[in-house]
Structure 1
């Protein structure tokens, strides 16, 4: 974080900012594991692993509350400006995206348990595996970009969301066609569709985190900017 933070007279202020950053990355690591385990629990029909994913929600919520308190305390006590203020605001918003990713992972875990109870592996697992791997990589790269303040990496990660959306749309067309051909499969396939939807949403939240990172470093609000315009604005390919 040396590239972004100021060399404050108060070492305690420096410590507070670094602690905030570390707590954010810790929460990101927990959420990343949640998503990976949620997808794996479905592919392996592992109910125990799905329950572990749900149990991690308590840790995510605890970190969410801790980070919120730290942001509020620093704002009130230090009255930060410029880059310090952007850092705190960025993390405050990005942590909300992490919390939503955790919610989607929990949703996948619940759907996994439903599919296990139905006792039959439906269509769509190949697509879940493929999109799950893409989403997991996106989360990992997002957190890595945040840790290194790497704007080029953030733009690259944001672009990955388009590939996930394309895979999602292709999978949806295939599954809808399958349900029309075999109406008996509708109940099972609907659960798979909700899993795919959760994964697609996780990709969206990862992209939003990258946007908050760009705001932190560059001071530019890119939330409503097309990805190509974003790359041009920042001089990234």
Structure 2
């Protein structure tokens, strides 16, 4: 990053970035716990994920306020302003990832509270592991302002999308063959959709890092173009 006009700006921005990474760690934990609750039927863990949502929301509000204050006080320009803008977007996507984790926890709770004899046995862990890995890579990229992982994260997003489509096809087959599976199958489908959305948000995070590091908007341009932009 460029040297800043005032040392205090560096301190303020560093504090915000640290808190953003802490928020990222919180939503990452939510995903892990939500998927564990789904696998094990641990209703208490599902409830814990749901209860943590207010903490994620509070962090989002506080971080947005901190970003507003740093803009008002320091009046950043050029790369500094670009960084703050992308930090604000990052905060929003992390909060939405937390929302998806909460949705997974709620559906896990519903599935295990109901009669599970008709629940379709669809493996979701691979898709969840891919999305979680994307998030971890994106957070690491954010911490280092390193755009090099953006292309690999975009490729993983395609894998998550393919997993979701395959899961959806399997669930449609279950519902057509046995109408008793419709309600639980829809719950599983909503979980799969939340996983797919987590992947989308993680991809967004990596694109914000490219903009911070390179000043280039790589949304909607394709993986090969992203590789060119980040110098791979």
TM-score, normalised to structure 1, is: 0.93
Number of residue pairs the alignment of both structures matches: 231
Structure 2 partner of 1:194: 190
Residue 36 of structure 1 corresponds to 32
Closer/same/farther in 2, CA of residues 140 and 52 from structure 1, 3 Å limit: same
Listed as ranges, the gaps of 5+ residues in structure 2 are: none
Q: Distance in 2 between matches of 1:220 and 1:158?
A: 16
Aligned runs of 1:85-234 on 2, under 5 Å?
85-120=81-116, 122-126=119-123, 128-234=124-230
8 Å contact from structure 1 (residues 6, 84) kept in 2: no
Give the match for residue 84 of structure 1: 80
Would the aligned equivalents of 1:124 and 1:171 in 2 still touch at CA under 8 Å? no
State how far apart, in whole Å, the 1-side matches of 2:18 and 2:155 are.
Answer: 26
CA contact (8 A) 2:210 2:230 kept: no
For the 8 Å contact 2:150–2:226, the answer to whether it is kept is no
1: CA distance, partners of 2:157 / 2:36:
21
Answer whether contact 2:31 2:132 (CA < 8 A) is retained. yes
Q: Is the contact made by 2:60 and 2:95 (CA closer than 8 Å) also made in structure 1?
A: yes
Report if aligned partners of 2:216, 2:229 keep a CA contact under 8 Å in 1: no
Q: Gapped runs of 5+ residues in structure 1?
A: none
- Please name the residue that 1:68 is paired with: 64
CA contact (8 A) 1:124 1:192 kept: no
Question: Does the residue aligned with 1:56 lie in a helix, a strand or coil?
Answer: helix
> What CA distance in whole angstroms lies between the structure 1 residues aligned with 2:75 and 2:121?
51
Shift of 1:142: 1.1
State the distance in 2 between where 1:7 and 1:209 align.
Answer: 24
Choose from 3, 6, 20 the match for 2:3: 6
Task: Give the C-alpha shift of residue 231 in structure 1.
Answer: 1.5
| TM-score calculated relative to the size of structure 2 | 0.95
Which digits, 9 at most, give the CA deviation of each residue in 1:39-87, with x for residues without a partner?
1111111110001101111211111011101110011111101111111
Tell me which stretches of 4 or more aligned residues in structure 1 moved more than 4 Å.
none
CA-based RMSD of the aligned residues comes to 1.3
Deviation at 1:204, TM superposition (A): 0.3
What is the distance in 2 between the residues matched to 1:227 and 1:208? Answer: 13
Shift, 1:119, TM fit: 3.0
| Cα distance in structure 2, aligned partners of 1:185 and 1:95 | 38
